[in-house]
Amino acid sequence: MKTEKRIPLSKAFSLHYRAFQILQKNCPGLLPSIFFHSAVGAVLPYVGIYFSAQLLNELAGERRAQSLWMWALLAAASTMILTLFKAVFSRWKNQKMGTFQQDTGRIYVDKLLRMDFCVLDDSHTHDLHSQIKQNDNWMGWGLYRATMIFEELVEAIIGILSAVSLTVGLFLLPVPGTSSLSFLNHPLFPVAALVVLLLFSFLSSICATKSDSYWISTAEEQKFLNRLYSFFGYTVHGRDRALDMRLYDQQEICSEILMTQGQEMFGRGSKIVRYALGPMGLLMASASAISAVFIGLSYLFVCLKAWAGAFGVGSVTQYVGAITALSSNITFLMRVLGELYNNAKPMETVFAFLDLPDRMYQGTLTTEKRSDRQYEVEFRDVSFRYPGTHEYALRHVTMKFRIGERLAIVGRNGSGKTTFIKLLCRLYDPDEGEILLNGIDIRKYNYQDYLRVFSVVFQDFQLLPFPLGENVAASYTVDRERAEHCLRVAGFGDRLDSMPDGLDTFLTRDFSEKGVTVSGGEAQKIALARALYRDAPFIILDEPTAALDPVAEYEVYTHFNDLVGDKTAVYISHRLSSCRFCDAIAVFDHGQIVQQGTHESLLQDKNGVYAALWEAQAQYYREHQEVLEDSPQE
């Protein structure tokens, strides 16, 4: 088994203490409900043991009817009251546990939504989040296991205290001096009994905890298997994959992968099976055997004292039950501490994710509210590398946006176009140089204020399965007249008129049977309408017509000035023919701006990148047209 760096027990306690604090804050009432339910449940068996012993003592002794009735009524009343309380607390606990996944899921979602985009975009962040989910899927390690540990700690501690209160008499009641077993009265005997009790309990728990640790040692393999089952068992059958699955009969491949990997990880000869048949099974058997030996010794000790006349036959039931329960609870407590220790590593992962620091400076200046939209943005010698890479995505970029200008950004894949937009929107900060808004470094502005300067349509935009109007407004509150206007300007008017509930029509049927599914081109028009609805002074379009048919694309370009109005527009495209309507074109190559100008001026530079890209696309269309003309007509 792979040896990992050991976590100090003190750190394991501090990790779980912090986990309990987080649970108390985000799942209010959960821990109190668990505490009271566990406490009552732990006390209840000992009430039965105590009153049963009193009844047996009375039956074996004077058999007084009054005393028998008293003990019977007390036993019934106590059991009834405690059972009632347990039922009430059980209902409370179950209600809180019913929302546990939602409450704890919100902890991670809130963190993801609050963190800087550059941190969110880091693969390390996604690895941590994936590990948390896989640990939770694999036997609930993490926050869910922390709640179980809290419940078990309460049960064990209350159980120990209850058992001790019923066991004291076993050691305090003396054997009559005339008995041959009077040596049991020696003061060292209770000490020896306590040492034996702790020793057997400790050995049993050590064996059980060591056995459980083998599950942790296989966590990486099981996490990978969980990913496979999650993807091939659920994700792969989604609507967006249904066509390929059926056309290429991919379900057989998926089943084969699941069967093969399942056999490797859980079949005969797998690591976990070898552990189960070997050390895990041996350790669990040893734990059970040690507990059985101790129970036998407990029976022997209690029966010897009763035989010698230290107490009556009824007390035998009490002491045997109590000392056995005491041993079991001590063993249980040791196992819980071992479980707490085993859960420390998953909890480290949880807090490594929750403690991810934001990297970007948060300014305090508010952006100037200008009705004339006179916002000027300037890049000054900006260079940028993505975290963990050595190559520059942008290098020495200097340019200024002219207010109200239509700027097209073109270049080959990987030339830095999207990186340029991410820096402009301050999703990342530059490594060198600075970006200015109206002459002030954008890092000094309040981040949310600065973002409101931009409306962006990225290539990988997302629509939610909510009503159309809420998708356009990106809010529950919708200005219906404005939303409809933006949809019609974006070319979605005819489709809007055909929708059964207009702006209240749900996109997809996830939450409504009357929902509709829009095409890729229609979704792109909705995203464009959303950008227009925001009415920001800068509008940024990243391949806004990629999913549109030629007619719809032509309509968008024809009405582009109407779409944008007096806004400053930045337009990214691979289709150079669509750049001719722009006032200026910036050509990116290997992270640098290598050319700037109008479409006509850039074509004059026959050796330039723009002319080469234009000729490559024009040649494709010419060749395509020649093929169509030469093909036989039917």
Q: How confident is the model over 353-362, as pLDDT tens digits?
A: 999 988 778 8
Q: Which has more pLDDT, 437 or 555?
A: 437
pLDDT given at position 548 = 63
Highest mean pLDDT among 136-145, 295-304, 320-329, 570-579: 136-145
Q: Does residue 50 sit in the same domain as residue 95?
A: yes
- pLDDT tier, 38 (very low <50, low <70, confident <90, very high otherwise): very high
Q: Does residue 105 sit in the same domain as residue 185?
A: yes
Domain stop point among 326, 354, 382: 354
Q: Does residue 183 sit in the same domain as residue 230?
A: yes
Cβ proximity of 472 and 533 under 8 Å: yes
Q: Does residue 289 sit in the same domain as residue 385?
A: no
| 397 domain residue, yes or no | yes
Mean pLDDT computed over 154-181: 79
Domain stop point among 325, 354, 383: 354
Q: Does residue 396 sit in the same domain as residue 320?
A: no
CATH of residue 600:
3.40.50.300
Q: Does residue 115 sit in the same domain as residue 72?
A: yes
Model confidence pTM above 0.85: no
pLDDT given at position 379 = 94
CATH of residue 346:
1.20.1560.10
pLDDT given at position 1 = 42
| 509 domain residue, yes or no | no
| 380 domain residue, yes or no | yes
Q: Does residue 330 sit in the same domain as residue 386?
A: no
What is the SS3 assignment for 395? strand
Q: Does residue 232 sit in the same domain as residue 135?
A: yes
516 is written with which tokens? Answer: 């509709």
| 491 domain residue, yes or no | no
| 477 domain residue, yes or no | no
Q: Does residue 306 sit in the same domain as residue 426?
A: no
Q: Residues 6 or more apart from 325 whose CB is under 8 A from it? A: 45, 46, 49, 159, 162, 163
- Which residues span the domain enclosing 608? 374-453+572-629
- pLDDT tier, 484 (very low <50, low <70, confident <90, very high otherwise): very high
Q: Does residue 33 sit in the same domain as residue 164?
A: yes
pLDDT given at position 147 = 95
Q: Does residue 99 sit in the same domain as residue 169?
A: yes
Q: Does residue 320 sit in the same domain as residue 381?
A: no
Give the chain's domain count: 2
Could you please report the per-residue DSSP string of 400-430? Answer: EPPTT-EEEEEESTTSSHHHHHHHHTTSS--
| 522 domain residue, yes or no | no
| 548 domain residue, yes or no | no
pLDDT given at position 481 = 94
Residue range 411-468, pLDDT digits in tens: 888 888 889 999 999 999 999 999 999 889 999 999 888 888 889 888 788 888 899 9
Our CA angle for 254, 259, 264, nearest 5°, is 125
How many other CB atoms sit within 10 Å of the CB of residue 614? 18
> Is 624's pLDDT higher than 50?
no
Residue range 23-32, pLDDT digits in tens: 999 999 999 9
Cβ proximity of 272 and 266 under 8 Å: yes
> Is 626's pLDDT higher than 70?
no
- pLDDT tier, 629 (very low <50, low <70, confident <90, very high otherwise): very low
Pairing of strands 377-384, 432-437: antiparallel
Could you please report the per-residue DSSP string of 516-532? Answer: B---HHHHHHHHHHHHH
| 461 domain residue, yes or no | no
Domain stop point among 320, 354, 388: 354
Mean pLDDT computed over 58-81: 85
What is the SS3 assignment for 594? strand
